Structure 1
C-alpha cells in the first residue's frame, strides 16, 4: 500500500512539473536566449576590430568570418573583412579573385599606401574585403627587420576604420608575426573552436598568446568569446568537449553553436556566404543568431 502511495505521489509530481513553463536549454547547457534584431545605426564608424584566431587549422575561422560578416551586413552594419591568410580562403569564400590585384600584402610592405586601392566589394551589400594571396606568405620575412613590426597592420587599418562599423580579420592557423599583428590591431578576439579534443588542447596556448599581446603590445585587447563549431549533438564526444569548454570559460562561450553540415563547402564553391546560398538552412540561421549575439554582448555596435 505504501509503495502504491509513493508511486501515485511521484506520478502526480511528474504531472505537475510537466505543466510548468520550463526554459528551453541550448547545447551549452544554458537557457536559450532569443537575441533581438539589432536596431539600425544612425551613422557608421569608427569600427571595432575583431580577430578570428586559432592556431589549429580547419576549425571554422574562415567560414565564421564569411558568414558572420555577411549576417552583420544584412543587419545594416558596414563590414570590412581582412583576408590575413596566404591561402586566400576568405577571398575565395566571398567570390573575389586575388590575381594581379593589390592585396593586404602590398599594404603591409608599403608598395600600396592607400587601403582604398585594395578594398573589393562582395555580393553582399555592405560587406567589403581586402583580399590576400600566396604573396602574404613572404610578409613575415619582409617585416622581421621593420621598426614596430607588430603594429604595421594597426597603422594600415587606422586609415579606414572610420568608414566601417566592424572589421573582421581572418587569421592564418599559426601564432606567428602576422597573427601578432592582427591581435595588436584588434579590440577583441573571437576564437572558433571545433568540438573535438585536439582542438580543445590548443586553446590554452592561444589564450596565453592573447595575454602576452595584451601585456606587451595592446592593453585594450579582450576575449570577445569562444564559438563552438562543427558540433554534432549525436556524438558523445562533441557534447563532452562543449561541456568542458563551458566549464572552463563560462560566459565567454557564445550561446550560439555552429553545427556540422555539408552546406558550408557547397557555399564556398559557389563563392557565397551560407546566408545567401541557403538562407533557410539551420547554419545560416545560427550565424544570424551569432551576429545578433555579438551586438547584444556589445562586441559590435
Structure 2
C-alpha cells in the first residue's frame, strides 16, 4: 500500500512561488498526501455512506468495490450493499446471486436477521449484502408500506454495530430505492464522470438530497464529489473538472480517478483493482481516496 507522501501523479503540475514549488493536483488545489489511517481499537457503529448519481456509467459500482476494499485494507470492517437490481456490485466481487437470499428478502421481511444474508467476500474485512434482478420488484411491493422510505434504515440498524463503514451502491435513478438509501445514510458520495452530460444532472441529485434532509433525514451530509474517468490529455475532461470545482468548491475531493481499461478487467475477474493490479495508478488512487475520506472524518 502507498504510504503518506505517496508519489504525485502525472496529471499534477508545478507552480513556482519564489524559491518554493507548489504542486497542484488535477482539481487545481495544492497536492497533499494523506496519512495512513491508524488501526482501530474497536469496531462500530458504522457510518453509512450512499454512493449516488442518477446517471448510469459514472463509476458508482467501481468506486464502491474499490473504496470498500481499500478501507478494508486499512483495517476497517466494511459492509457493501448492492442496491441495484443489475447486481453489478455482487458480480464485481465474485458473488453468486442466483437462487440465493438477497437484500430484497430483507426489505420484504424486516424482522429477518440480516446476518443470515450477508456474504463474506475474498477480501478480508469486507462483507456484502448481494442483490439480483428480484430487487427491481421492490418499489412495487413497498409502495403501500407504512414509512416505506425508512425500510433499509431499519434493516441496517441491526448490523451497524458490526462494521466501521457501510457503503450503499445505489441504482441510477432517484426512485424509492435511492430515497431509502439516502434516508438510511449519514453521508453521500457523488461519483461524477468528467463529461458534460454527467455534470448536467447533478443539480437534480443535490435537490433530491436537500428534500431528503428536509423531510426524512436531517443529519445527512454531502461527504464529497468524486471526479471519475478523468483523462488529463483531453481539454474536455479538464474543463469539466474545473466547472465541478467552481460549482462545489471544497466538496470536490482532491483524489481524482483516472480512466483505464484495468477496471473492466478487474470486474471480469471478480476482484477489486487493489488486488487485481495493486501497483497500478488506479489502485493507488482508490487507496488515496480511502485515506482522504478518513482524513476528512467521513470514515473512522
TM-score, normalised via structure 2 length: 0.94
What's 1:80 paired with? Answer: 79
- The reply on whether 1:144 has 2:143 as its aligned counterpart is yes
What's 2:180 paired with? Answer: 181
Mapping 1:146-295, distance limit 5 Å: 146-295=145-294
Kindly indicate whether the alpha-carbon contact (under 8 Å) linking 2:94 and 2:271 is maintained by their aligned counterparts in 1.
yes
- The reply on whether 1:63 has 2:62 as its aligned counterpart is yes
How far is 1:268 from its partner? Answer: 0.2
Kindly indicate whether the alpha-carbon contact (under 8 Å) linking 1:226 and 1:254 is maintained by their aligned counterparts in 2.
yes
How far is 1:101 from its partner? Answer: 1.1
Equivalents in 2 of 1:148, 1:83: separation in Å?
Answer: 22
What's 1:128 paired with? Answer: 127
Mapping 1:23-34, distance limit 5 Å: 23-34=22-33
Kindly indicate whether the alpha-carbon contact (under 8 Å) linking 1:106 and 1:112 is maintained by their aligned counterparts in 2.
no
SS of 2:104's equivalent in the other structure is helix
Equivalents in 1 of 2:224, 2:57: separation in Å?
Answer: 18
Change (3 A) 1:241 1:122: same
What's 1:13 paired with? Answer: none
SS of 2:123's equivalent in the other structure is coil
What's 1:4 paired with? Answer: none
Deviation string, structure 1 residues 65-102 (Cα, Å, up to 9, x no partner) = 00000000000000000000000000000000001111
Mapping 1:85-124, distance limit 5 Å: 85-110=84-109, 113-124=112-123
Equivalents in 2 of 1:258, 1:20: separation in Å?
Answer: 31
SS of 1:287's equivalent in the other structure is helix
SS of 2:69's equivalent in the other structure is helix
Equivalents in 2 of 1:49, 1:77: separation in Å?
Answer: 13
Kindly indicate whether the alpha-carbon contact (under 8 Å) linking 1:93 and 1:269 is maintained by their aligned counterparts in 2.
yes
What's 2:52 paired with? Answer: 53
SS of 2:229's equivalent in the other structure is strand
Change (3 A) 1:253 1:111: closer
Deviation string, structure 1 residues 230-268 (Cα, Å, up to 9, x no partner) = 000000000000000001100000000000000000000
Show structure 2 runs of 5+ residues with no match. 1-15
Change (3 A) 1:100 1:112: farther
Show structure 1 runs of 5+ residues with no match. 1-16
SS of 2:41's equivalent in the other structure is coil
SS of 2:225's equivalent in the other structure is strand
Kindly indicate whether the alpha-carbon contact (under 8 Å) linking 2:48 and 2:167 is maintained by their aligned counterparts in 1.
yes
What's 1:7 paired with? Answer: none
Change (3 A) 1:111 1:219: closer
Kindly indicate whether the alpha-carbon contact (under 8 Å) linking 1:121 and 1:128 is maintained by their aligned counterparts in 2.
yes
Q: How many residues align?
A: 285
How far is 1:20 from its partner? Answer: 1.9
Kindly indicate whether the alpha-carbon contact (under 8 Å) linking 1:48 and 1:165 is maintained by their aligned counterparts in 2.
yes
Equivalents in 1 of 2:100, 2:133: separation in Å?
Answer: 12
Change (3 A) 1:112 1:262: farther
Q: Radius of gyration: which is bigger?
A: 1
How far is 1:21 from its partner? Answer: 2.3
Kindly indicate whether the alpha-carbon contact (under 8 Å) linking 1:150 and 1:184 is maintained by their aligned counterparts in 2.
yes
Kindly indicate whether the alpha-carbon contact (under 8 Å) linking 1:153 and 1:181 is maintained by their aligned counterparts in 2.
yes
How far is 1:123 from its partner? Answer: 1.0
Equivalents in 1 of 2:291, 2:116: separation in Å?
Answer: 31
Kindly indicate whether the alpha-carbon contact (under 8 Å) linking 1:102 and 1:112 is maintained by their aligned counterparts in 2.
no
Mapping 1:38-49, distance limit 5 Å: 38-49=37-48
